[in-house]
């Protein structure tokens, strides 16, 4: 853990701490991996302090991605004009079975660095290409090596391959018990925690679902499950009938849920991961579940999901979530050709869905999600000086509507600088690039998908 002070000085600080608020020109002081003070004209308390000049920048909590298949980091652009079915054929059936542990390590490391490069300091990694224990170990090791904070969600398919998804179905891989014992004996391993990525009613039988949930709860691990996608109805209703709903469940997508199903999630304390790009591009639903979740006070956060046919950053997801929700909320009035006087939600709501609210999804808000003294020093600094971000009005509105990964100048995780001057820091980044390119070549050779 870093021992010297780190001072982020002179930026427009957006804390999401209700007691501190925004500081138009403020400092963030970090020591031993945690935020120690937020205010004006702060000074380091120890010699050898590093100072990050944040003048002309926006300083905010590190972004939190609540649902991402990080192992697919090397597969950008592989699925363009596809639905969920097309994605499943191309990636889950077409490429996943050809992954060696070395490929999984390379893809996960590159995917985690993609997230860090975009200012994402915490990621929930829904890992569903763990065909052997060596694959699982490679996945955990890659997350560790990247330096990102995260929740490793142990998924399938285990030794039964793609039969993991379908009917009849095998049990969730028992290797998850070994991974917990070896890698997470104290619950936390470095910056990582563990959970289970379960199939749920959409992808297996009720009996297998009950067994999977019992397995997760016996291990004391949080659960993430896909629900409410077009073509896969009544997932939450089924979980309710099976008596399985609870505050330990993260419900992914939830685009096609009924009002009753949203109410069930709210009543049982579950959370929702919103994936606006994938929800709409892959036709999982008409609109993301943003408004339904917020109206009921459900803990909800934004996510990238898969990078095989969408972007790698949460700025895009913020814009899409805002536009889609305003469109959904005003669709009836617009269809009657009525002029709409007021619109709901603003850009700050979207940034909160990518920081503090997203941290609440995984019960991490006591550690990350706001710039609060005592919390982990996970901070993202965005350069607001370029023409597209040098705005007249609210810097948060400007950031949400215009920023991208290239504008992220500095990324700090646990007090450690992982991106500086707009470039990922350390030898792991260049090594990851080499591994990723080598993996791509090998995957193309194994599948006959040679580069054009």
Where do the domains of the chain lie, and which CATH numbers do they carry?
Answer: 6-60+379-421 (2.30.40.10), 63-361 (3.20.20.140)
Residue 1: pLDDT over 60: no
Residue 272: pLDDT over 70: yes
pLDDT the model gives residue 157 = 86
DSSP of 265-315: HHHHT-EEEE-HHHHHHTTS-SS-SHHHHHHTT-EEEE--B-SSSS-S-HH
CB count within 10 Å of CB 339 equals: 6
pLDDT, average across residues 407-412: 98
Residue 295: pLDDT over 80: yes
Window from 155-159, 250-254, 305-309, 402-406 with minimum mean pLDDT: 155-159
Q: pTM above the 0.85 mark? A: yes
Residues 373, 32 contacting (CB under 8 angstroms): no
pLDDT the model gives residue 451 = 52
Cα distances from 239 to residues 233, 299, 331, 342, 366, in angstroms, run 12, 19, 31, 38, 29
CA atoms within 13 A on the CB side of 166: 10
pLDDT, average across residues 11-17: 98
Residue 3: pLDDT over 70: no
How far apart CA 193 and CA 367 sit, in angstroms, is: 13
């Amino acid at each position: 853990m870093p021992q010297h002070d780190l001072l982020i000085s002179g930026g427009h600080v957006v804390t999401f701490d209700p007691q501190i608020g925004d500081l138009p020109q403020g400092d963030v002081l970090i020591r031993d991996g945690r935020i120690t003070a937020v205010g004006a004209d702060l000074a380091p308390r120890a010699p050898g302090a590093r100072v990050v000049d944040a003048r002309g920048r926006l300083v905010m909590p590190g972004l939190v991605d609540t649902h991402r298949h990080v192992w697919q980091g090397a597969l950008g652009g592989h699925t363009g004009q596809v639905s969920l079915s097309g994605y499943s054929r191309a990636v889950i059936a077409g490429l996943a079975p050809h992954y060696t542990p070395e490929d999984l390590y390379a893809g996960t490391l590159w995917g985690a660095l993609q997230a860090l490069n975009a200012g994402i300091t915490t990621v929930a990694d829904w890992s569903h290409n763990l065909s052997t224990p060596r694959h699982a170990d490679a996945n955990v090791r890659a997350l560790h090596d990247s330096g990102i904070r995260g929740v490793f969600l142990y998924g399938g398919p285990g030794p039964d391959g793609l039969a993991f998804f379908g009917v009849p179905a095998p049990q969730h891989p028992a290797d998850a018990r070994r991974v917990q014992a070896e890698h997470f004996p104290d619950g936390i391993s470095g910056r990582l925690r563990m959970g289970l990525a379960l199939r749920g009613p959409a992808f297996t039988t009720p009996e297998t679902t009950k067994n999977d949930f019992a397995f997760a709860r016996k291990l004391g691990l949080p659960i993430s499950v896909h629900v409410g996608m077009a073509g896969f109805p009544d997932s939450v209703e089924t979980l309710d009938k099976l008596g399985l709903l609870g505050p330990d469940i993260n419900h992914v997508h939830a685009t096609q849920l009924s009002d009753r199903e949203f109410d069930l999630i709210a009543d049982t304390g579950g959370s929702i991961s919103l994936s606006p790009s994938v929800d709409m591009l892959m036709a999982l639903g008409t609109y993301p579940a943003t408004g339904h979740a917020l109206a009921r006070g459900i803990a909800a956060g934004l996510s990238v999901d898969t990078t095989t046919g969408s972007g790698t950053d949460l700025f895009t997801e913020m814009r899409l979530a805002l536009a889609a929700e305003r469109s959904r909320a005003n669709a009836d009035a617009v269809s009657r050709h009525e002029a709409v006087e007021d619109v709901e939600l603003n850009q700050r709501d979207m940034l909160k869905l990518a920081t503090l609210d997203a941290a609440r999804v995984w019960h991490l808000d006591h550690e990350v999600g706001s710039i609060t003294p005592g919390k982990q020093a996970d901070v993202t600094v965005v350069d607001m000086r370029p023409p597209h971000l040098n705005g007249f009005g609210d810097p948060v509105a400007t950031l949400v509507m215009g920023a991208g990964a290239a504008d992220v100048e500095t990324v700090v995780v646990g007090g450690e600088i992982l991106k500086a001057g707009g470039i990922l820091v350390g030898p792991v980044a260049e090594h990851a690039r080499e591994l990723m390119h080598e993996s791509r070549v090998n995957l193309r050779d194994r599948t006959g998908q040679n580069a054009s």
